[in-house]
Amino acid sequence: MNLLALLLAPLAAADTAPPRGIPTSTVCYEVFVRSFFDSDGDGIGDLNGLTQKLGYIEDLGARCIWLMPVAESPSYHGYDVTDYYRVEPDFGTNEDFKRFVGEAHRRGIRVLVDLVLNHISSEHPSFQAALRDSASPYRSWFLWSRTPGPKNQWGGDNWHRSPVRDEYYYGFFWRGMPDLNFETAAVREEAKRVARYWLEEMKVDGFRLDAIRHLFEDGAQTANVPATHTYLREFTSYLRGIAPNSFTIGEVWDSTPALLAYYPDQLDAYFAFEVSDAILDAVRLGSAAKLFPAVIRAQRDLPAGRWSPFLRNHDQTRTLTALRGDVAGARLAATLLLTFPGLPFVYYGEEIGMTGDKPDPRLRTPMQWSRAPGAGFTRGTPWERLQPDSLTATVEAAEADSTSLLHLHRRLIRLRAETPAVGAGELVPLETGHDAVAAYLRRVPGETRAVLVILNLGTAPVAGVTVTSGDRVLPAGRYTPRRLLGAVTSAAPLRVGPDGRIRGWVPLRTLAPRQGAVLELK
Ligand code: CA
């Protein structure tokens, strides 16, 4: 491809190609199998348990599930794989997995699995062979050094002393997870073979790719090196060859500008960490001042529908804990997430306001289904101690309370599915003159229906908030607001002049603290 074609590629893709992958009108639900539902009483969540709970995920409205690693692993978290072709025995068998996928597909739910390519378990036979036998063909699968190497940015070690001989091996995250050496052709080919197995044999719809900015190293540079981009292009084009409708989303835990190098021709999508942080910060601080720059940048610079906001994932303090138990804040955060552009991801338990803080196992505790012993998660002893609120923050309690966070999630996800402006529209930030009040439109160009989201993030009531915009945000005309969500008694009509500008509009007389509304403008 010449330079001109390269420069035009994102534009051309946006203009002509049908949207690939998963529509932004739905949401994906991130599940930790070990903690979701235990079907056999051993205290460990499993695939048959997950299959039994698919109705819950379907009712939530998610049409896609991301499973954290399900391949065989000696650790509870599964990010150190010992057999890429076998389901972790704690979770069941490969046949259980296939049944789960079949049942998910029957309900119109796609299945993405975590694919861990950067590193492997130190107990994997290939690493053990390489460690013990310096003539092993697997030696070149890993990175070795005579010296321990410099400390990493956190003052820890990336190079770990071999227990066998006087040498060190490279493992970016942990000594139990040696990095694979992607300079070795056999490693690159094996990664494709693993992906092919899960697509063709296990019938998954795609992958969440872990830690991909670390695939290649270049001296002291341990992330985002050019060879990583080259390989992601090769890997993705291979996947498209064998499974044209598969979907890939990558973890590049970095800023939106750093994400740009991963488009347009690598994975389908990446998580937008900056957008997520902006939502949480705005709610925590009660200020809309820094809410929009990250989402506007993502919307402007990244291909439409190919990035994903979320509130929290399995590596981060849960939303309600980050907000110090402020349920109204959690409602605002969910409202922002699920009315933002991009393909949103919801981490299991967030929808019922589960709590959890580091260390990591406490971010991944068993799902709280009911007040029953074991939180209805297991009839045995849960693999990990439940959270202190396991008797109150349950699915059972949330089902019974029409004002619960769970019902709010369901309403917002349905709204997203049924309202093109919310499901696929552009976000247009509006000026409110109040630091605490966030207001934005979602609109599809050419559509006469738009949606206004207006939220008071602050802890004091505000009255008479005036909304204004730049030129050409709506077609000229008179709009009657209709309540889609929120405690709204009456909303004032809006008149938009020929310049398409909103000026001096006071949609709602008052906004209660930590409350807001979603209105359709027609
Ligand atoms: Ca079990």
161 & 212 share domain: no
- pLDDT for residue 6 is more than 60: no
Q: What's the pLDDT at 3?
A: 43
Residue 152: predicted pLDDT: 77
CA–centroid distance, 87 to ligand 1, in Å, is 13
Q: Which amino acid is at 21?
A: G
Q: What residues does the ion ligand 1 have nearby, CB within 5 Å?
A: 38, 40, 42, 44, 46
Q: Are 127 and 121 in contact (CB under 8 A)?
A: yes
| C-alpha 480, offset from chain centre | 35
Helix (H) / strand (E) containing 66: strand 64-67
SS (H, E, C) 301-330: HCCCCCEECECCCCCCCCHHHHCCCCHHHH
pLDDT tier for residue 514 given thresholds of 50, 70 and 90? very high
Q: Are residues 289 and 360 located together in one domain of the fold?
A: yes
Rounded to whole angstroms, the Cα distance separating 181 from 186 reads 9
**Residue that terminates a domain, selected from 170, 201, 234:** 170
**pLDDT level of residue 148 (50, 70, 90 thresholds):** confident
Catalytic-role residue among 38, 90, 114, 251: 251
Output the pLDDT for position 9: 41
For residue 454, being part of any structural domain is answered with yes
pLDDT band at 20 (very low <50, low <70, confident <90, very high): low
How far is ligand 1, taken at its centre, from the CA of residue 382, in Å?
Answer: 10
Do residues 349 and 292 share a domain? Answer: yes
Residue 510: CB atoms within 10 Å: 12
pTM, full prediction: 0.94
Q: How far is the CA of 404 from the centre of ligand 1 (A)?
A: 29
Residues 281, 342 within the same domain: yes
CA of 233 to the centre of ligand 1 (A): 38
**CATH number for position 245:** 3.20.20.80
Helices (H), ranges, 463-508: none
Within a domain: 176: no
CA 102–ligand 1 middle distance (angstroms) = 20
Please give the distance, rounded to the nearest whole angstrom, from the Cα atom of residue 38 to the centre of ligand 1: 4
Q: How much of the chain exceeds pLDDT 90, in percent?
A: 89
How many whole angstroms from 39 Cα to the centroid of ligand 1? Answer: 5
Cβ atoms of residues 496 and 470 within 8 Å? no
58 belongs to the catalytic site: no
**If you ran DSSP here, which 8-state letter would residue 476 be given?**
S
Quick one: average pLDDT of 145-157? 83
The encoded tokens of residue 62 equal 């998610």
Of the listed 30, 96, 210, 217, which one is catalytic? 210
Asked if the structure places residue 175 within a domain, the reply is no
- pLDDT of the residue at 446: 78
Taking residues 473-486, what's their average pLDDT? 94
Q: Which of 309, 314, 409 is nearest to 353 (CA)?
A: 409
Average pLDDT value for residue range 361-382: 98
Give me the number of domains the chain comprises. 3
CA distance 457 to 354: 21
Tell me what the mean pLDDT of segment 106-113 comes to: 97
Whether residue 200 lies in the annotated active site: no
Question: What is the structure's pLDDT at 4?
Answer: 45
Sheet containing 168-170: give its strands across: 144-145, 168-170, 159-161
CA distance 514 to 196: 48
Of the three residues 360, 386, 418, the one that is the final residue of a domain is: 418
CATH of the domain at 443: 2.60.40.1180
**Ligand 1 centroid – CA 191 distance (Å):** 29
Q: How far apart are CA 336 and CA 505, in angstroms?
A: 22
Asked if 243 and 363 sit in the same domain, the reply is yes
Pair 223, 346 in one domain: yes
**144 neighbors 105 (Cβ within 8 angstroms):** no
| Same domain, yes or no: 136 and 232 | no
In which band, very low, low, confident or very high, does the pLDDT at 275 lie, cut at 50, 70 and 90? very high
Cα-to-centroid distance, 377 and ligand 1 (Å): 10
Tell me, in angstroms, the distance from the centre of ligand 1 to residue 363's CA. Answer: 20
Query: Measuring CA to CA, how many Å separate 45 from each of 66, 333, 507?
Result: 15, 28, 48
**What is the 182 CA–ligand 1 centroid distance (Å)?**
35
For residue 159, report the phi and psi dihedrals to the nearest 5 degrees: -105, 130
Parallel, antiparallel, or unpaired for β 462-463 and 510-511? Answer: antiparallel
Write down the mean pLDDT value for the chain.
94
Q: Are residue 166 and residue 259 in the same domain, yes or no? A: no
Rounded CA-CA distance 502/504 in Å is: 7
- Measured in angstroms, how far is the CA atom of residue 44 from the centroid of ligand 1? 4
Domain of residue 130: give its range. 125-170
